[in-house]
Amino acid sequence: MEQVITIKEMRAVIVSFRQKGETIGFVPTMGFLHEGHCSLIREAARACDRVVVSIFVNPLQFGPGEDFVRYPRDLKGDFEKCLSAGAHLLFLPETREIIGENSGAFIRMDRIMDILCGASRPGHFQGVATMVLKLLNIVQPDYLFLGAKDFQQTVILKKMVRDFFMPVRVEVMPTVRESDGLAMSSRNSYLNPEERKSAVALYRAMKKGKEVFLKGERKASVIKPLMENEIRKESAARIDYIEMVSPETLVPLDDIQRDAVILVAVWIGKTRLIDNLKLS
Amino acid sequence: MEQVITIKEMRAVIVSFRQKGETIGFVPTMGFLHEGHCSLIREAARACDRVVVSIFVNPLQFGPGEDFVRYPRDLKGDFEKCLSAGAHLLFLPETREIIGENSGAFIRMDRIMDILCGASRPGHFQGVATMVLKLLNIVQPDYLFLGAKDFQQTVILKKMVRDFFMPVRVEVMPTVRESDGLAMSSRNSYLNPEERKSAVALYRAMKKGKEVFLKGERKASVIKPLMENEIRKESAARIDYIEMVSPETLVPLDDIQRDAVILVAVWIGKTRLIDNLKLS
């Protein structure tokens, strides 16, 4: 597995793949990889001739006071995981080069970037989309692999690719969970043992919501309070939002007669966790 | 010369060029082509194996009350000009497909999109950059050819390509002028004979400014009023702005000790014309 730092080197390796007619799968990450990331890399290795993984803690997607500085990093562990999951090329861009002197050019989407996680984290999705656009232009992959845990992110990036006619296919892979149901996330490493136990409340609440839905309840105004009760059982938990939304538009639904997805964001102590579950 | 309307067809033709190892030059236009456009097409034909010209009057770059509806169109004439200038492929996208149901995703750049022409035409450059990004993703050219007459546009698009690491080289070709110095523009067709005579004031003013500069004057506060006087000699003319700016950042300069460019925007009757001239 090769490691590349500069954009120039990256382009050269990509050209060499292309000249051999090889297809390229791309998995963008912020590192501190877990089984969720590894499942994306394995799927990319199954579907494509070459797998590029980028590791870059993107300052553009962190707000002031957020966890950019303390975001967990483990390059050695990441290297091993990429290797054993089947990656061929690790891209480790430097902030100076990939952000540049000014970060004046960016991607905006009205509404869809400003709701849900975007309401709690102003500028977050603008930073995500701008960085993924840059990475896609550098790596020029055939396939982009994303994890379903960051549901709003997948909707925004699929929209970016579609609206801008980017020549890449987006594949969203299922959330990987711990045995008790907690969605894998690099941020789970922030949790102390007590908080770790409380964190399962997100999954429990979504399961409760889905159970009530499957029994025939269609009113979000009935289902949401039942989910909120599940979260409130944990004293360390504070709800950021719980919504049932249309999976394409993220518009909140009250009467759930079509496809819908439950989205939750909950603070466990000082750690903000998100999760989602499809209703249907 | 082939004509293509759908993005799907376009991609297929581009793939066929690529498979033959041919380089692609791209000239995006809004049609009603003049000698300025033709010079871009000829240069593209000189530098690249294949030349793609797009003709699309982009609604995203017109504000409310601007001339979108009456913008001049002449597809038959354009076809002949493209053919004789050496284009291989004409891309005529449909609004429904290239703008789509929603135009929610767009490119933003702070400051540089909001000054000069951006101050007079809010949203204009956002519409330009967003459309050019879409076209670049569809055509995937090696070279993008732009005319220097739209100076701010060239700065913004070069910045977009650079900041987003788009795999394309931008070539800016010199402004083509009528024999009296008026910069060629599709919008010159709006001018009645009287206004057409007045319109040369833009060039005359810039020449005056450059002449004073070349004689040693370095203060914009001295040079600008002399240029304004030239414009004011024409009763049909109303100044939108006259500035001397840094060519990379578009920051207005007062003491002109390095490279600078004169930018002018002037209303001639109901027609807004722009032009520019390098000082040095």
Report pLDDT digits (tens) over B187-197: 999 999 999 99
Query: Residue A137 is nearest to which of B105, B109, B164, comparing CB atoms?
Result: B164
Which residues of A fall within a CB distance of 8 Å from B137? 164-167
Closest by CA position to A85, among listed A141, A45, A142, A27: A45
Give the residue numbers in B contacting A (CB under 8 Å), as ranges: 7, 11, 98, 100, 102-112, 130, 133-134, 137-138, 140, 159-160, 162-167
Spatial separation of the C-alpha atoms in residues A19 and B18, rounded to whole Å:
11
pLDDT of residue B103 exceeding 80, the answer is: no
Q: How many CB atoms lie within 10 A of CB B36?
A: 21
Whether B2 contacts B83, CB under 8 Å? no
Pair B103, B66: CB distance under 8 Å = no
Q: How confident is the model at residue B280 (pLDDT cuts 50, 70, 90)?
A: confident
Asked about B34 being catalytic, the answer comes back as: no
CB contact under 8 A, B107 and A111: no
Contact A165 B137 (CB under 8 A): yes
**Residue A175 DSSP class:** P
pLDDT per residue over B71-100, tens digit each? 999 999 999 999 999 999 999 999 999 998
CB distance A140–B111 less than 8 Å?
A: no
Which residues neighbour A59 within 8 Å (Cβ) at sequence distance 6 or greater?
A: A68, A95, A99, A127
- Banded model confidence at residue B102, pLDDT cuts 50, 70, 90: low
Q: How far is A64 from chain B (nearest CA, A)?
A: 19
Q: For residues B100 and B1, which has the higher predicted lDDT (pLDDT)?
A: B1
Contact check, Cβ <8 Å, B164/A109: no
Enumerate the residues of chain B whose CB falls inside 8 A of the CB of residue A163: 100, 102-105, 134
Taking the CA of residue A160 and the nearest CA in chain B, the distance in Å comes to: 7
Residue with tokens 């203060």: B219
Distances (CA, A) of A114 to A19, A156, A254, A260, B97: 41, 11, 20, 20, 26
User: Chain A residues within 8 A (CB-CB) of chain B?
Assistant: 7, 11, 98, 100, 102-112, 130, 133-134, 137-138, 140, 159-160, 162-167
Alpha helices in chain B (DSSP H): 7-19, 35-47, 75-85, 95-98, 117-120, 124-139, 151-163, 193-198, 201-214, 220-232
Residue A56's closest CA among A2, A93, A100?
A93
Any idea what the Cα angle at residue A99 is, between residues A94 and A103, rounded to 5°?
165
CB contact under 8 A, A7 and B165: yes
* Contact yes or no for A152/A114 (Cβ under 8 A): no
Q: How many residues does chain B have?
A: 280
Write out pLDDT tens, residues B147-206: 999 999 999 999 999 999 999 999 999 999 999 999 999 999 999 999 999 999 999 999
The 3 state secondary structure assigned to A186-234 is HHHHHCCHHHHHHCCHHHHHHHHHHHHHHCCCCEHHHHHHHHHHHHHCC
At B139, list the tokens.
């055509």
Residue B252, strand partner residues: B245
Please report the pLDDT score of residue A104 as a whole number. 82
Taking the C-alpha atoms of residue A204 and residue A262, their distance in angstroms, rounded to an integer, is 12
Inter-chain CB pairs, A–B, below 8 Å: 72
Q: Which residues contact A194 (CB under 8 A, 6 or more apart)?
A: A236
Domains assigned to chain A: 2-173 (3.40.50.620), 186-274 (3.30.1300.10)
The pLDDT averaged over each successive group of 10 residues in chain A (280 residues) is 97 96 98 98 98 97 95 97 98 95 84 96 97 98 98 97 96 98 98 98 98 97 98 97 96 94 98 96
**Contact yes or no for A165 and B105 at CB 8 A:** no
Determine the residue among B4, B106, B163 to mutate to test chain A binding: the one whose Cβ has the most chain A Cβ atoms within 10 Å: B163
Contact between B97 and B6 under an 8 Å Cβ cutoff? The reply is yes
- State pTM to two decimals: 0.96
CB A145 within 8 Å of CB A161: no
Catalytic residues of A, by residue number, are 37
Among partner residues B104, B110, B164, which is closest to A109 by beta-carbon distance?
B104
Chain B residues lying within 8 Å of A109, measured CB to CB: 104-106
Of B34, B37, B88, B124, which residue is the catalytic one?
B37
Q: Do B106 and A104 touch (CB under 8 A)?
A: no
Please say whether the beta carbons of A223 and A209 come within 8 A.
yes
Phi-psi region of A21 (alpha: psi -120 to 50; beta: other; left: phi over 0): left
Q: Which residue of B has its CA nearest to A11?
A: B167
**Predicted pLDDT of residue A280:** 80
Match 């809004």 to its residue by tokens: B30
Q: Are A222 and A244 within 8 A, CB to CB?
A: no
Rounded-to-integer distance, Cα A88 and Cα A3, Å: 9
Contact A265, A203 (CB under 8 A): no
Query: CA B174 to CA B176: how far, in whole Å?
Result: 6
Q: Which residues contact B70 (CB under 8 A, 6 or more apart)?
A: none
Number of separate helices (H) and strands (E) present in chain A: 10, 10
